[in-house]
Structure 1
Amino acid sequence: MAKINLMLLVAVLLSGVVLVHNAYESRRLFAERERAKNEGQRLASDAERLKAERHAQATNLRVEQVARERLGMRVISPALVASGVTP
């Protein structure tokens, strides 16, 4: 009888240890999932911001502005084209 009681006590203790370990692991995984979810939301927000910036940089007005400022390009008149004069 004492042997059975000892075995049952060991089984109860082991199941308690397993239960505590599983609860700890569950909390750890939940916290990790929340961090990953927050990171995903941050990345999605950054992606939307970058799309908006890319769209703003690709407008015709912006392209013309960059062509004038950085490349020194200017609008050419039809008279210059017809006469063959290079500016």
Structure 2
Amino acid sequence: MTKVNMLLALALLLSALYLVRTSYEARRLYSDLDKAKAEHARLDVDFKRLEADAQGAATSVRVDRRARDRLAMRPASPAVTQYVVDPMPAGSAAASGAQR
């Protein structure tokens, strides 16, 4: 009977240690999950801010300003516009293709 009691006490001790270990592991995993959720929220805020910055950078006013400042571009005006005349009018191009 003493051996059975010792065996049961050992089984009880082992199961208690296992319970403590799994409880600790569950708390640690929950803490890691909480940290991951906080990191996700922070990254989501950063992503939305970067998305807004990208949309702001693509506006025509900013593109125009950067083209003027960095590339020294200027708007087209009749004084600086050069017109190119097609040497073959549209009607004669179709006729020349038919003659081949």
1:48 and 1:78 mapped to 2: Cα distance? 43
2:73 and 2:80 mapped to 1: Cα distance? 15
| Segments of 4+ moved more than 3 angstroms | none
What residue ranges of structure 1 are gaps of 5+ in the alignment? Answer: none
The CA deviation at 1:21 is 0.2
1:51 lines up with 2:58 in the alignment: no
Q: Which has the higher contact order (CA 8 A, sep 6+)?
A: 1
Matches within 5 A, 1:1-80: 1-80=1-80
Task: Report the AA paired with residue 12 of structure 1.
Answer: L
Q: What TM-score results when the alignment is normalised by the length of structure 2?
A: 0.79
2:12 and 2:66 mapped to 1: Cα distance? 75
The CA deviation at 1:82 is 5.0
Helix, strand or coil: the match of 1:79? coil
The CA deviation at 1:81 is 1.3
Structure 1 or 2: more helix by fraction: 1
What is the aligned-residue RMSD (CA, Å)?
Answer: 1.5
Counterpart position of 2:88: none
Between the two proteins, what is the percent identity of the paired residues? 44
The CA deviation at 1:42 is 0.9
What residue ranges of structure 2 are gaps of 5+ in the alignment? Answer: 85-100
1:82 and 1:32 mapped to 2: Cα distance? 66
Q: What TM-score results when the alignment is normalised by the length of structure 1?
A: 0.90
Helix, strand or coil: the match of 2:71? coil
Larger radius of gyration: 2
Helix, strand or coil: the match of 2:81? helix
Helix, strand or coil: the match of 1:73? coil
Work out the number of aligned pairs and report it.
84
